[in-house]
Structure 1
């Protein structure tokens, strides 16, 4: 075992890439290293023997930075890990990560070791990433809002003439019932007006999507209540849910619409309800609640995946193509995201991510354990 002589300690400190500050029992700085000088912009000889307050608090700058150290010293917060902004005497702004640990002798604090890491570039990358995500979210919301306004206007303008066309075609079909060829053509017109009316109804429901009163849900009880209702409706389908004790503030009616649309979509492409298995699992991802919903069906066609959430996109001859578009709209209202893909063992998987939200930020909050 090498002896702990001052030269050895000084050599180790000089080679360390992280900044080191050792504060003695008297509250003065007993040791630093060159890496710390580079981060704080203060020469080592100006720090040694000085008290923290004397060195850093005299100018009244770096309040958050100073508060972290004050908390460590006075509250004896061992293993405190924080990232704070710091401005050196030359005006250079940095983001520093600080970790504290204590030197103890006979259960008494004999000193404090503070480790500093310059995380400025990492913080800038995270800030740029957050800004880019917010900008993408803003643009997507503008697109969705424009689509909603257009959908509302189109639905109103199309419904009236479509009703007239269908009515006139029906009247003519009754009037010329004995003319078989003409009657068949009129029936085609009537059937197409029914199809167009179904499209108008779906477009109108899309345009009507808006945020209701937010509510606190416990994912376990919410998902189990929803699954119980769907099991009654779909007979022998198997639904497994895991909320993992998580809670979120959501718009319950929109969340229910999301689950219903995705579940109905899974049923449409399943061979039978008996063989359908749908799994829902909620996990925490960076403070967000991520809801994974997957089935054991044939999965999604990768060639059409980029268009899956587009309005009027459908692979079914009798489909309108607004279901998944409404799902994305609901997630946008939540301020969240949705992505689609396939699971390796077969089947489709949708991932809905809900941002952290508190009832205190909303007007007229209401809390509930479960809803269907």
Structure 2
């Protein structure tokens, strides 16, 4: 379970068995810009905590348990959160118990609104600090992976690609000789030969992912017509969509009225082909993959939407990480390369869940003025 760090207001879970006091707290915190979830008991609080929260305000005495024990359980459920205990019967023993339970603060009821809001802001600073530490750790891990890729690149290029090319050449010659044989002899020999050819191609594509990720090319932008770009992608993948029995469509006029994009058509086509192929793979037979485009100020917003199961919230931040993949095969670099190309174009890429329940990748790219 993770803390809810969205662009929305900070989320406060208030656990208080006095309904009138709970309503007062909710009103005060709503006015202060917090998003509030209320609970009247320990059991209800633990259920509400499943959705995540930033700070919990917990009454010390509840009808079905002690606030100190609940504080400990909430911290275990959402480790990067903070808990503030409230009580009308403060003693040295309860203060010590609050600290042991992992509470960051301890307030007497009734407390002044200014004191409560100040304590909440201090707790939110701790929550933000936890998030920053987690992000720094994630970036350090990504940096280590990138360094490893860079050090491997030269070796991969010489040690693997040269013999791989030689093997592909010899295999091509062997295939031509087999096809000169009688029709009865060919199937038995071609089946393993074609299997090896496909595996060599797969290895070559994986190697190309490594090389492209470690050695990004220079950027030479030119005007790129949006509609023509999207139309080429849809036409190119129409056959694969038909094989998978998935409908592939371009919504509306395909951006015919938009100014050109500023970029490299070949690389933008690579981005859209990769996103659309992922969408086709995620969609069940009889499903739909839709490409759409709209204008947002000086940007073209291109959407690639599938009818699959969507991307779980906890994975949305990770899908662009190098080497992260949920597939059994693949290098885990595809979306990292896609994001790098998009960023080089001065754009952005995010994944959300579509209203239909599938995944929707939103690609925003600058238009030429």
Same-fold status (TM-score > 0.5): no
* More RCO (CA 8 Å, sep 6+): 1
